[in-house]
Amino acid sequence: MHTIVLATQKGGSGKSTLAIGLALAAKQAGFTVRLIETDPQGTLSNWQRRRNADDLVVEPIYHAADIEPRLKMLADSGLQLAIVDTAAGLSAATTVAIRNSDLCLIPARPSVADIEATASTLSVARAWKRPYSFVLNQTPIRGQRIDNAAGALAEEAALDLTEVLARPLIVMRNDHQDSLASGLAVSEFAPNGKSADEIRGLWRWIETRLELEATTNVLIDQVMSAADGMLHVAAEHAADETTTLAS
């Protein structure tokens, strides 16, 4: 199982809408997905209550001590992907989630305040040596402010921009908030819209970053091998019974 955590110090960065959008994009790509909510504000739980379908499960886990064992149980059950939405700021729950992540996504709007607020989340990811990437979210369609923000993030991380900035950038459009209010992901609310294309593109970027396609194939191979083994044992058992009855 792979665990993706969305975390940042500043509120209003769009973590929850990104978590929902990525969860559905992953599900549409063939992965089994669980949304984990560690934010007591309950944005994901409220979204699920507005949703008419039960195909995306939201599991609230608000106590830090419960996160790691639950992730292990989900991994043992065969789940392929857990996406964790965290509260604004740094808390024990967020730290545990980052520590157990395969990728920490740090959303930031293209403003000085948002970029400065990423420092504490970045320090936690680095302290636990967890992979991380920034997502420039709620950006204007175009403008120098985007380029300035991207450059600032590269300086903040002290790495080449291609290593730390997820693509594509997510533009501010009403589709995101309207889909949240409707209990939908953006690719369900406006499947042919630009916002849906961007979220699907971001998911493809994550797939490449985590090499999820190769991992998924390994999981499928493991399941098939286990099934073949069970059939082999069953065949041997049936043959033994036949021999016993014949004698």
Task: Give the pLDDT score at 142.
Answer: 64
In the predicted model, is pLDDT for residue 157 greater than 50?
A: yes
pLDDT band at residue 161 using 50, 70 and 90 as cut-offs: low
Task: Give the pLDDT score at 144.
Answer: 53
In the predicted model, is pLDDT for residue 158 greater than 70?
A: no
Say yes or no: 231 and 203 in one domain: no
Total of domains in the chain:
2
Say yes or no: 149 and 229 in one domain: no
In the predicted model, is pLDDT for residue 230 greater than 80?
A: no
Say yes or no: 129 and 226 in one domain: no
Say yes or no: 111 and 219 in one domain: no
Provide mean pLDDT across the span 18-42. Answer: 96
pTM above 0.85, yes or no: no
List, as one string, the DSSP characters of 59-87.
EE--SHHHHHHHHHHHHHTT--EEEEE--
In the predicted model, is pLDDT for residue 130 greater than 80?
A: yes
Domain that includes residue 195, residue range: 2-210
How far apart (Å, rounded) are the C-alpha atoms in residues 167 and 109?
Answer: 14
Task: Give the pLDDT score at 152.
Answer: 63
Whose tokens are 């769009």? That residue is: 14
* Residue-wise pLDDT tens digits, 92-122: 999 999 999 999 999 998 888 888 889 999 9
Say yes or no: 73 and 105 in one domain: yes
Whose tokens are 């110090």? That residue is: 9
* Residue-wise pLDDT tens digits, 46-70: 999 999 888 899 999 999 999 999 9
Say yes or no: 236 and 177 in one domain: no
Say yes or no: 30 and 150 in one domain: yes
In the predicted model, is pLDDT for residue 212 greater than 50?
A: yes
Say yes or no: 97 and 193 in one domain: yes
CATH of the domain at 55: 3.40.50.300
CA distances from 159 to 20, 127, 152, 162 (A): 29, 16, 11, 8
Say yes or no: 197 and 98 in one domain: yes
Cβ distance 132 to 23 under 8 Å?
no
